[in-house]
Amino acid sequence: MPRLEGVAVEHQIAGEDPRASLLARTLTELDIANPCDWQGGVSRYLLDTLERWITLHGSNAIREQFSLHATLRSNPGLYGSEDIDHARLYLAVEADAAGYVAIGPTVDLLKAVHPQLPVTFYRLMTGALGRWARAYDYQDALERVEMWKEWIEGEENSEQYEFPDVEGCIPAEMRMEPLDTEGLRDLTNGIKDGVVRRLIQGALDLDQVSQQVNPPQISEETREALMDCNPPLPTLLVSFRHQDAVVAAFDEDSQAMLEAEPEPSFLAEIVPADAASVRKAFDSLAGLCETLATASRLMTLLPGCQEEGHQRGSAH
Amino acid sequence: MRAPTICTRREAVLDELTQLIEGRHPHCQTIIARFLRDPEFQQASELLAKAIEEEQRYRRSAVIDLPPGWLLPV
């Protein structure tokens, strides 16, 4: 074979995707990126911009309770090898581990004030968070146990299987109807207990913050690309007590959560040259961050949180 | 010398990014950057690599002079 003296046989390339340069320019035009961060490299500039944006929208509070990471990439999934759309980029947030809260002591505190208060508070908190990220709670655990029971139907010796008693760990007050917002505000006006008032106000604030911006809508094409993915990893696990049946169901369920690639917790499509598209994606990210930051601040107020919760560490 | 203001810095960054997007930036003028942007360059390199591979079947190893601007395909 002919040899070319002096020619390297391998070249390493660190190239910039043209979409990244377009996005960097649009972010600078929108004043989302700070030109002072520019050091000549597009990737570094985009990462600094993303970090700056997340910091601006509550990263310190988020880190207290949650573990997530954000990426800008050319595919909606983590492992896609071919771009499904050469004109798009994706802004994704994924959970590294689930935050954890045991809400039982809060239920005890609130039911002493009004029997419908625990379920009202619970629905406000998990509903607001659920608009943006997946929270695993007793309802997921109930569904999962139901599914496991269906799987063993008709099997010989099916009695040998034991399932977590999720039904048995749900406080009676959680089966009541929640108060509507007006009823909750009327009730709150008459509450003297400062801790309870702060909890209710925190839940109302969370509900409001979660609705300030709408989560991003994704296209059918992107939806199809994620068709074979598992559901997103939970951002938060909500049990009633430490090591109760909800936690047991979660532990069992989590064994299979990574058997297939999970969907991102948050995904926004970006057309890098389109200012409206970029603005919308970054506003949505701000909505997610502010919801998580407000949830995190609320979680630190929950009674018994330090003893009952926060002990699981990485829950996936 | 006065430090550039935020406004002039912003304009300078936008200008540099535009040069990158349009392929006018000095970073885009390296042979590898041109190779990455130019499908014809890539195709020509691929053809040449295949031709050299074919040669291997018929001829023994020989040293030839390096053509100007030569770049092996990646």
pLDDT for A62-103, tens place per residue? 999 999 999 999 889 877 666 777 789 999 999 999 999 999
* Residue of B7, B20, B56 to mutate when probing chain A, most A C-beta within 10 A: B20
The number of distinct structural domains making up chain B is 1
B69 contacts B48 by C-beta, under 8 angstroms: no
Question: How confident is the model at residue B38, as a pLDDT?
Answer: 81
Cβ within 8 Å of residue B71, ≥6 positions away:
A11, B31, B32, B35, B45
Written as six digits, the tokens of A53 are 């944006």
Average confidence (pLDDT) over B10-36: 85
Helix B6-22 with A18-29: angle, nearest 10 deg: 150
Question: How confident is the model at residue A8, as a pLDDT?
Answer: 63
Average confidence (pLDDT) over B65-73: 71
Question: How confident is the model at residue A310, as a pLDDT?
Answer: 47
Decide which of B63 and A155 is more confident: A155
Q: Which residues of chain A make contact with B17, given a CB cutoff of 8 A?
A: 21, 24-25, 28, 42
Q: Is residue A309 over pLDDT 90?
A: no
Question: How confident is the model at residue A313, as a pLDDT?
Answer: 40
Chains A and B: how many Cβ contacts under 8 Å? Answer: 71
Contact B61 A24 (CB under 8 A): no
Q: What percent of chain B has pLDDT over 90?
A: 18
A46 contacts A24 by C-beta, under 8 angstroms: yes
Average confidence (pLDDT) over A156-160: 81
Half-sphere exposure of A110 (CA within 13 A, CB side): 29
Half-sphere exposure of A78 (CA within 13 A, CB side): 16
Asked if B5 is an interface residue toward chain A (Cβ–Cβ < 8 A), one would say no
Q: Is residue B3 over pLDDT 70?
A: no
Q: Is residue A311 over pLDDT 60?
A: no
Among the residue ranges A4-18, A58-72, A189-203, A220-234, the one predicted with the least confidence is A4-18
Average confidence (pLDDT) over A264-274: 96
Question: How confident is the model at residue A312, as a pLDDT?
Answer: 47
Written as six digits, the tokens of B16 are 């540099």
How far apart, in whole angstroms, are the C-alpha atoms of residue A304 and residue A104?
8
Domain that holds residue B32: 28-64
Task: Output the CA–CA distances (angstroms, integers) from residue A240 to A103, A198, B66, in the order listed.
Answer: 5, 20, 74
Residue B23 lies in a domain: no
Phi, psi for residue A267 in degrees, rounded to 5: -145, 125
Contact B64 A18 (CB under 8 A): no
In sequence order, the β-bridge partners of residue A75 are: none
